[in-house]
Amino acid sequence: MKSQTIALFFLVAVAFGGVLWVFVYPIISGERKWERRRESVARAEPAAIRTSRGAQKSRREQVEDTLKQIEQKQKKNQRPSLQAKIAQAGLTWTKRQFMLISAGLGVFAFILILISGFGILPALGLGFAAAGGAPFWLLSFLKKRRENRFLHTFPDAVDVIVRGIKAGLPLLDSLRVIAAEAPEPVRSEFKSILETQTVGIPLGEACQKLFERMPVAEANFFGIVIAIQQKAGGNLSEALGNLSRVLRDRKKMKAKIQAMSMEAKASAMIIGSLPIAVGFLVFVTSPNYIELLWTHPLGQFMIMGSAMWMSMGVLVMKKMINFDF
């Protein structure tokens, strides 16, 4: 009986001590306060992370929205008008002047071939080609030459803007420096940006219009960088510095591609000019033998067919050796 009483007392004491240990000791030792403090810090840390992530997401969404707007505007302007093509070639003609010049070239070619005695059908064909092909080929040639000049000096212009911003100049003042001192056609294009901005259009949209007048990827990159910086903010000098490096890398890559494709271009030029050179040599040595090609109707038909097939071959070779990147 006595041993049972001692065992019961021992169990009650252990139970009472356990209760005190569980409920009273954390209050006395401050452990409860420590746990509450830890929980408050643990709850505050995800909130801060969520706030930071929300800010980053908001900035990312702004950039994505800006890019979507730029892409939609470019899709609307995928097919430029005739007046836009004339402006891209660097000419000051109006659409009416271009049409009159095209018609004059066609009439001149028609009369010249008709007087030469080649017949009405060759005169009509060459007159149509002179009216509808030669002017547009001239626009394409002038546009390509102007784009190459622009790309040659555009990275230097971006570097000048970066240095101006790092020196404390506003972006508009840096653009004015380019519009005043850069060589053509960079100078005229930046003048157009400043004139567009002067009439009330935001600077980001004015820079995006550069791609409409100069349809090259580098101009598009510049417009996107300025538009995103104007809407979402950020370090403009760092962004334009990265853009300048990209432009110079693209310029190096283009020069490397041209050097690697020169062999194929030389082969294509030799193959394309060989029939004409052989025909000229045959005409010089024995003109009576080859003059049937333009005096006899069958010969005229043959020479027109040969010219058509040669033109198709030249276009195919040109397509094969022109690399886009």
Burial bucket for residue 80 (CB in 10 Å: 0-12, 13-18, 19+): middle
50 lies in some domain: yes
Residue 237 has pLDDT above 50, yes or no: yes
112 found inside a domain: no
| Shared-domain flag, residues 209 and 290 | yes
Ranges 37-41, 127-131, 240-244, most confident: 240-244
Residues in the chain: 325
Q: What is the distance between the alpha carbons of residues 310 and 276, in angstroms, rounded to a whole number?
A: 10
Task: Examine residue 81 and state whether it is found in any structural domain, yes or no.
Answer: no
d(CA 166, CA 173): 12
9 compared with 114, residue with greater pLDDT: 114
Residue 32 has pLDDT above 60, yes or no: no
Q: Does 160 reside within a domain?
A: yes
Which has the minimum average pLDDT: 15-29, 157-171, 191-205?
Answer: 15-29
Q: Are 126 and 109 in contact (CB under 8 A)?
A: yes
Q: Which amino acid is present at 149?
A: R
Mean pLDDT of 179-188: 85
R_g of the chain computed on alpha carbons: 38
More confident residue, 101 or 69: 101
Q: In this structure, are residues 153 and 186 in contact, taking their beta carbons and an 8 Å threshold?
A: yes
The number of domains in the chain is 2
Domain end (from 26, 43, 61): 61
Residue 302, token pair as written in the block: 């043959």
Q: How many CB atoms lie within 10 A of CB 161?
A: 25
Which distant-in-sequence residues (6+ apart) come within 8 Å of 67 by Cβ?
Answer: 224, 228
Boundaries of domain holding 254: 133-321
Q: Looking at the structure, do residues 57 and 141 belong to the same domain, yes or no?
A: no
Residue 58: band (very low, low, confident or very high) from pLDDT cuts 50, 70, 90: low
Model confidence over 73-84: pLDDT tens digits?
555 556 777 787
Q: Does residue 291 form part of some domain? A: yes
- Side-chain-side CA neighbours of 279 within 13 Å: the count stands at 13
Q: What are phi and psi of 230, to 5 degrees?
A: -70, -30
* Structural domain contains residue 295: yes
Of the candidates 91, 122, 120, the residue with the CA atom closest to the CA atom of residue 308: 122
Are 139 and 35 in a shared domain?
A: no
187 shares a domain with 282: yes
66 part of a folded domain: no
What integer best gives the mean pLDDT of the chain?
75
What count of Cα atoms within 13 Å lies in the side-chain half-sphere of residue 208?
19
Structural domain contains residue 305? yes
